[in-house]
Amino acid sequence: MPDSSRALKRLLLGRQMRSDRLHETLLPKRLALPIFASDALSSVAYAPDEIFLTLALAGGAVATTHSWQIGLAVVFVMLVVVASYRQNVHAYPSGGGDYEVATVNLGRWAGLAVASALLVDYVLTVAVSISSGVQNATAAIPALDGHAMPVAVALIIGLTMMNLRGVRESGRMFAIPVYAFMIAIMGMAAYGLYRSLMGDLPRAESASLELVPEHGYESLGTLAMVFLLLRAFSSGCAALTGVEAISNGVPAFQKPKSKNAATTLLLMGCLSVTMLMSIIYLSIKTNIHYAERPAEQLLVNGEPVGSGYIQHTIIGQLALAVFDHFHLGVILVSTVTGLILILAANTAFNGFPVLASILAKDGYLPRQLQSRGDRLAYSNGIMILAGAAAVLVVIFDAEVTKLIQLYIVGVFVSFTLSQVGMIRHWNRILATETDPRERRTHQTSRAINAVGALMSFTVLLVVLATKFVRGAGWAILAMAILYLLMQGIHKHYAAVSRELEVPAADHEAGRLPSRVHAIVLVSRIHKPTLRALAYARGARPSTLEAITVAIDPADGERLQQDWLQREIPVELKVLDSPYREITRPIVNYIAAIRRQSPHDLVMVYLPEYVLGRWWENILHNQSALRLKARLLFMPGVIVASVPYQLNSSKEVAEMIRQDIQDDTIAAGKGR
Amino acid sequence: MPDSSRALKRLLLGRQMRSDRLHETLLPKRLALPIFASDALSSVAYAPDEIFLTLALAGGAVATTHSWQIGLAVVFVMLVVVASYRQNVHAYPSGGGDYEVATVNLGRWAGLAVASALLVDYVLTVAVSISSGVQNATAAIPALDGHAMPVAVALIIGLTMMNLRGVRESGRMFAIPVYAFMIAIMGMAAYGLYRSLMGDLPRAESASLELVPEHGYESLGTLAMVFLLLRAFSSGCAALTGVEAISNGVPAFQKPKSKNAATTLLLMGCLSVTMLMSIIYLSIKTNIHYAERPAEQLLVNGEPVGSGYIQHTIIGQLALAVFDHFHLGVILVSTVTGLILILAANTAFNGFPVLASILAKDGYLPRQLQSRGDRLAYSNGIMILAGAAAVLVVIFDAEVTKLIQLYIVGVFVSFTLSQVGMIRHWNRILATETDPRERRTHQTSRAINAVGALMSFTVLLVVLATKFVRGAGWAILAMAILYLLMQGIHKHYAAVSRELEVPAADHEAGRLPSRVHAIVLVSRIHKPTLRALAYARGARPSTLEAITVAIDPADGERLQQDWLQREIPVELKVLDSPYREITRPIVNYIAAIRRQSPHDLVMVYLPEYVLGRWWENILHNQSALRLKARLLFMPGVIVASVPYQLNSSKEVAEMIRQDIQDDTIAAGKGR
């Protein structure tokens, strides 16, 4: 069964890749930027929206007055964080990013906390980006309106499939839209700025609407106003998510890895900041009115616009204004924005499986997450990420504003711990370093990381204060659960490992059994039974007997007679089953043998039908499965499945044979 | 895992019963009547309702004029069918009922058609009876109103549990309510008749309402009227369902089985007919108005009563009228009616698993349905029946009138085929019988069955004509699917059986392998590996080697060194895995061995961890499972699982040990 899907898998995922081709997938900067920075860059598509709609709770005037201040604050944080992470990238070229930095410098608990935070935030990156992407694409494709959730889920499935094909092709596939996005936004900003200078910039479509405060926000006191500003700032910090992606992905860069990564990081920071501020500036100039609940907050002639009003995203409204005589430009900006957001989710598809695999290697997650899949991708991690993100999208109905409340907190937890870890890192190096030139460099780095740590921690507090009850609490809960889960898994693996460990001088574990008592289980006399008997005899055990369970004594007798008639050279023992069970009498019988001669090995030969189709298996082997599950718990008992391949299994067998041949040919070519 | 539920199972189901206690569960008539006849008797609780509400489509007057005629028609059919089935019971005392009769006399196709029809109708019996029971109980327990569906599902679960405990206890548990129902209905009828004769019978609560025709039924032509009468007759024939239950259950009767069963059948027919006609008579006398859609069809002062009106069942309204000064009587009748309907579903819980087990024995259903469960009940069949009925109740929201449209068609398919089969049966006997006295008896029987066949077929046509589009079509579809499914399963089993058959002179199947090539799979050096090695060595194969797959060449080397250092007396071979897979290199290697020496037996020893908790298994043995699934398809390869029991498995092992001891003690007592 698991093999019959191989052909389909090959069709969808392409040919497998050898491990020694792994280095071929290293990324030059021009590919690394779109792959790792698409998340950070794309957040300019929703960060301004969140700033404006949060401020607009207190009315349109507040949004206009304060949005650029909030924008500048976010830019400042962004620059500090980028500067800090450039230190990380240089200090830890092996990747592992925040998890490694926190673990090495602060200990296991910190590493695990960072890992929990990052795993949760990766999931949110996918959910937020995809949802926002669909929201943006709606401006270009009106048919999507009202179907955001199913479309988002479909996109997640599509991304999953692409990522199962492997990272290299993703890079190529994603480079064009990311660069197109940069060009489109920068172009729009430049043209808008030009028109603004010429005094020719039109007002946005929502400029004519009146934006009234939400109920309860009409006249805020100073304290309440400060709180609202902080909330807007929190939401705006969504622009910072994804900065850590590059530091996690250093090993995927071409050499010199650290230098290339640091350059890419700086480039990304500058691009991000420029785009963010341009959008905010133009939004103010075109007088965009953007509300959390447009149907009620936006008025036309004093009346709410109602639920019929479709509020385009800020980028969408900007494009409509700036390109008011050039509709192709509008379509281009909307499409490309929608596209880059969807691709931004890909950052998480790169980061999550790598981190999960590192955690699995360290024994914090199930081992299955460790193995690379067919095309050098970490298939299991990809599937889990996609599943979790899809669940979030369904629960929150693909609404960006709701999802964004859960976002960010994880990123800043890991920023903070990582930067604190870096301070320790430099301290340790400075303790031994004597070269004054080097010392100065390290001291500068330490200062940068200290500022970064302080800044990240402050933002984290602000985010928690303003968003805990709005959703960040759920994210914290998810992290806590993950943290405990990973700790539990680690404990379990450690305990098992201790239990299985063999002391160098242990002779008990390898003690040979004195004799082998072989038992062949018989239900009828047919080919599988005869084959099992032949194999069991071929293995030359000390003693060999066949046993059968007679639910109906008459059946048992008939079988016994047939057995004798065929002169089968093994004794058949018939076990009674007063309770009409098959498993128990056998377990009972074997337990008796074990009691009599505890040093013997009991080898139970189980004839099994092998069938090619899944439904056929429902019709067979059920008692065998139950019996096996029981016998596993008896020490000194081996269950040997003797398969009998029926005709219907031939197709699968042929596929396996084909597969081996392919492999042999490929190996031959490779050498 | 499957064993940890044993304690719970014992708690819910009681101790297991030995096969030789099976005869103790045979039923005397006084217990057989409530168990097998509760379905047929209970249908008087909904059959009159369906007659009235169908006729009432054309207005209240039509219902009053024609309901007694329809009632008489149903009574006539009932008496004919009972008379016919008394012949069956005498001719086939071994049970199997309609399925056996049709198979033996008309062939496999007819038997299978009857079986499909009966299986579908058993499911509907549960769904209809439970739904109607809840509807009736609502008169006594108003809190149930509006929660019919969940209550019905809960009741199905409850019934399932009771039935998993075994048939005997069901009999005792059900006798009291069934007899109470008969007494209550007969008592109500007698008292009502008395009051009617005294001129003292009050009018029903709905008598004062005006019952207007449904839209489109205001003035029906003769043809349309005849069609409506036939439709009412079809619905009324629901009273006949369950008549076959007794003939299916003959083996459960005490001796003389046939005579006792026939007597019970007649008794049941008479009771049923009396109750049905009494209810119809009293309904007319008290002038009950009963509508399919009461909110719109019933008027008070010319205005519809609206959705606030709760329409009690006919029995409920009768009780309210007859016992207008004795409210305890009302509560008694409602409660007992609700109860017997719920218990009527039990008929299906007796019939379905028995029939499924016979079908499984004949190879038409999966073998798992054949095995008797712990307490002499057919657990798997019971679970399937309950599941299917619950699904129906959920889909049709526990509405009796909707469910009843699917009902009956199956019963009459099986009535018809069974009666036609009986004609053939008598023909065959008459062909050889010479004693004129016997011949006359047989000829009478044949005549009765012929009338029965004709009558059943006519009713079947009427049901199909009047109800096909209203729901009977779905029932027919379900039967067709079941028919094809059973045929498919039979073909599959037959094909497998042919393939596995050993010709008496076949020596190929039992040919011994020339040599045994043993392979121990190694991932690390730990106790499970050493145990597997020890066992493999203990089995003294011709050659023995250990193999490991090195995803990372360095890991492979480390393992190799450790292996040599420990002086393990078996050679370790390290397989490369360029594609980072574990399964394929091993399959590849074994395939190569098989090619080199095709007459050797390859024995693959697989060290496996045994853990006690289900989630632990997610963390281990995954690669082993995948590998096993692959190796099964290779002829000449045996997979021997060498279990290593970890501490966490001790609890389960202890439970299994306990279980064996219990068994030994019980067996000791039994002998």
Dump pLDDT digits (tens) for B290-303.
Answer: 988 888 888 888 88
pLDDT tens sequence across A436-453? 999 999 999 999 999 999
Answer for the pair A315, A185: CB distance below 8 angstroms, yes or no: yes
* Chain A residue with Cα closest to B367: A619
Which pLDDT band, with edges at 50, 70 and 90, does A372 fall under? low
Say what percent of chain A tops pLDDT 90: 33
Q: Which of A358-372, B179-193, B269-283, B463-477 has the lowest average pLDDT?
A: A358-372
Cβ contacts of A657 on chain B, cutoff 8 Å: 591
* Averaged pLDDT, B336-342: 86
* Averaged pLDDT, B115-124: 93
Query: The tokens of B607 are what?
Result: 């060290």
Q: What integer pLDDT is reported at residue A2 of this predicted model? A: 43
Cβ contacts of B511 on chain A, cutoff 8 Å: 534
Answer for the pair B331, B458: CB distance below 8 angstroms, yes or no: no
Q: What integer pLDDT is reported at residue B296 of this predicted model? A: 85
pLDDT tens sequence across A105-137? 999 999 999 999 999 999 999 999 999 988 887
Q: What integer pLDDT is reported at residue B4 of this predicted model? A: 45
Residues in chain B: 671
Global pTM reads 0.71
CA distances from B447 to B66, B427, B454 (A): 31, 11, 11
pLDDT tens sequence across B75-90? 999 999 999 989 888 8
Among candidates A502, A578, A611 on the partner chain, residue whose Cβ is nearest the Cβ of B530: A502
For residue B444, the Cα-to-chain-centroid distance in whole angstroms is: 35
Among candidates B372, B499, B629 on the partner chain, residue whose Cβ is nearest the Cβ of A647: B499
Answer for the pair B536, B520: CB distance below 8 angstroms, yes or no: yes
Q: What integer pLDDT is reported at residue B616 of this predicted model? A: 75
Q: How far off is chain A from B578, nearest CA to CA, in Å?
A: 5
Higher local confidence (pLDDT), B96 or A438: A438
CA distances from B80 to A215, B247, B440, B451, B484 (A): 77, 15, 20, 7, 32
Beta bridge partner(s), residue B609: B644
Per DSSP bridges, beta strands B298-300 and A601-610 are unpaired
Which pLDDT band, with edges at 50, 70 and 90, does B25 fall under? low
Return d(Cα A410, Cα B35) in angstroms, integer.
Answer: 63
Rounded to the nearest integer, the mean pLDDT of chain B is 84
Cβ contacts of B616 on chain A, cutoff 8 Å: 492
For residue A98, the Cα-to-chain-centroid distance in whole angstroms is: 17
Q: How far off is chain A from B26, nearest CA to CA, in Å?
A: 18
Which pLDDT band, with edges at 50, 70 and 90, does A667 fall under? very low
Q: What integer pLDDT is reported at residue B379 of this predicted model? A: 81
For residue A628, the Cα-to-chain-centroid distance in whole angstroms is: 35
Helix (H) or strand (E) holding A603: strand A601-610
* Averaged pLDDT, B534-558: 89
Residue with tokens 């930067």: A419
Please state whether the peptide bond connecting residue A256 to the residue before it is cis, i.e. omega within 30 degrees of 0: yes
Question: Rounded to the nearest 5 degrees, what angle is found at the Cα of B185, between the Cα atoms of B181 and B186?
Answer: 115
Closest CA to A566 of A552, A549, A550, A546: A546
Return d(Cα B29, Cα B11) in angstroms, integer.
Answer: 31
DSSP 8-state assignment for residue B645 = E
* Averaged pLDDT, B195-199: 91
Answer for the pair B314, B139: CB distance below 8 angstroms, yes or no: no
CB contact residues (below 8 A), chain B span 350-409, against chain A: 366-368, 371-372, 374
Q: What DSSP letter does each residue of A31-64 carry, written as one string? A: HHHHHHHHHHHHGGGTHHHHHHHHHGGG-HHHHH
* Averaged pLDDT, A179-195: 93
Q: Which of A294-298, A517-521, B23-27 has the lowest average pLDDT?
A: B23-27
Among candidates B537, B566, B663 on the partner chain, residue whose Cβ is nearest the Cβ of A512: B537
Q: What integer pLDDT is reported at residue B508 of this predicted model? A: 57
Is residue B410 pLDDT above 60, yes or no? Answer: yes
Is residue A482 pLDDT above 50, yes or no? Answer: yes
Report the interhelical angle of B436-467 vs B60-91 (nearest 10°).
Answer: 140
A584 close contact with B: CB closer than 8 A: yes
Rounded to the nearest integer, the mean pLDDT of chain A is 84
Q: A619–B3: do the CB atoms touch at under 8 Å?
A: no
Return d(Cα A483, Cα A447) in angstroms, integer.
Answer: 30
DSSP 8-state assignment for residue A313 = -
The Cβ of residue A423 has, within 10 Å, a number of other Cβ atoms equal to: 19
- Best probe of the A interface among B379, B577, B641, by most A CBs < 10 A, is B641
* Averaged pLDDT, A365-380: 68
For residue B550, the Cα-to-chain-centroid distance in whole angstroms is: 53
The residue type of B561 is: Q
Which pLDDT band, with edges at 50, 70 and 90, does B24 fall under? low
Cβ contacts of B622 on chain A, cutoff 8 Å: 367-368
Helix (H) or strand (E) holding A248: helix A243-248
pLDDT tens sequence across A383-434? 999 999 999 999 998 888 889 888 888 889 989 999 999 999 999 999 998 8
Which pLDDT band, with edges at 50, 70 and 90, does B520 fall under? very high
Is residue B9 pLDDT above 70, yes or no? Answer: no
Answer for the pair B509, B502: CB distance below 8 angstroms, yes or no: yes
* Chain A residue with Cα closest to B622: A368
Is residue B373 pLDDT above 70, yes or no? Answer: no
Return d(Cα B157, Cα A471) in angstroms, integer.
Answer: 39
Say what percent of chain B tops pLDDT 70: 90
Higher local confidence (pLDDT), A308 or B495: B495
Answer for the pair B118, B244: CB distance below 8 angstroms, yes or no: yes
Which pLDDT band, with edges at 50, 70 and 90, does B7 fall under? low
A531 close contact with B: CB closer than 8 A: yes
Is residue A611 pLDDT above 50, yes or no? Answer: yes
Q: What integer pLDDT is reported at residue B568 of this predicted model? A: 86
Which pLDDT band, with edges at 50, 70 and 90, does A276 fall under? very high
Return d(Cα A516, Cα A520) in angstroms, integer.
Answer: 13
Q: What integer pLDDT is reported at residue B384 of this predicted model? A: 92
* Averaged pLDDT, B359-386: 78
Is residue B192 pLDDT above 50, yes or no? Answer: yes
Is residue B271 pLDDT above 90, yes or no? Answer: yes
Q: What DSSP letter does each residue of A215-229 carry, written as one string? A: TT-SS--HHHHHHHH
Answer for the pair A81, A456: CB distance below 8 angstroms, yes or no: yes
CA atoms within 13 A on the CB side of B39: 29
pLDDT tens sequence across A560-608? 998 988 888 899 999 988 777 788 889 889 999 988 988 889 999 998 8
Q: Which of A6-10, A112-116, B113-117, B446-450 has the lowest average pLDDT?
A: A6-10
Which pLDDT band, with edges at 50, 70 and 90, does A21 fall under? very low
Radius of gyration of chain B (CA): 33
Beta bridge partner(s), residue B601: B516
Is residue B3 pLDDT above 60, yes or no? Answer: no
Q: How many interface pairs between A and B have CB atoms less than 8 angstroms apart?
A: 246
Q: What DSSP letter does each residue of A332-401 carry, written as one string? A: HHHHHHHHHHHHHHHHHHHHHHHHHHHHHHTTSS-GGGTS--TTSS-HHHHHHHHHHHHHHHHHTTT-HH
| Residue B252 backbone class (left: φ over 0; alpha: ψ -120 to 50; beta: rest) | alpha
* Averaged pLDDT, A484-494: 92
Is residue B345 pLDDT above 60, yes or no? Answer: yes
Q: Model ipTM?
A: 0.73
CA distances from B340 to B134, B170, B177 (A): 11, 13, 6
Which residues have a Cβ under 8 Å from the Cβ of B101 and sit 6 or more positions away?
B88, B91, B92, B114, B418, B421, B422, B425
Is residue B617 pLDDT above 80, yes or no? Answer: no
Q: B16–A579: do the CB atoms touch at under 8 Å?
A: yes
A62-66, A270-274, A511-515, B92-96: range with highest mean pLDDT: A270-274
Query: The tokens of B309 are what?
Result: 């009106």
Report the interhelical angle of A167-197 vs A314-322 (nearest 10°).
Answer: 50
* Averaged pLDDT, A497-508: 74
Q: What integer pLDDT is reported at residue A153 of this predicted model? A: 92
Residue with tokens 């420029």: A274
Q: How far off is chain B from A606, nearest CA to CA, in Å?
A: 10
Q: Cβ-count burial of B473 within 10 angstroms (0-12 exposed, 13-18 middle, 19+ buried)?
A: middle
| Residue B469 backbone class (left: φ over 0; alpha: ψ -120 to 50; beta: rest) | alpha
DSSP 8-state assignment for residue A505 = T
| Helix and strand element counts for chain B (H, E) | 25, 8
Cβ contacts of A514 on chain B, cutoff 8 Å: 538
Which residues have a Cβ under 8 Å from the Cβ of B512 and sit 6 or more positions away?
A534, A537, A538
Closest CA to A290 of A207, A188, A402, A395: A207
* Averaged pLDDT, A171-190: 86
Answer for the pair B261, B90: CB distance below 8 angstroms, yes or no: no
Query: The tokens of B166 are what?
Result: 């075994």
- Best probe of the A interface among B9, B638, B646, by most A CBs < 10 A, is B638
- Best probe of the B interface among A523, A638, A665, by most B CBs < 10 A, is A638
Is residue A487 pLDDT above 90, yes or no? Answer: yes
Which pLDDT band, with edges at 50, 70 and 90, does B413 fall under? very high
Query: The tokens of A547 are what?
Result: 């046993």
Q: What integer pLDDT is reported at residue B91 of this predicted model? A: 87
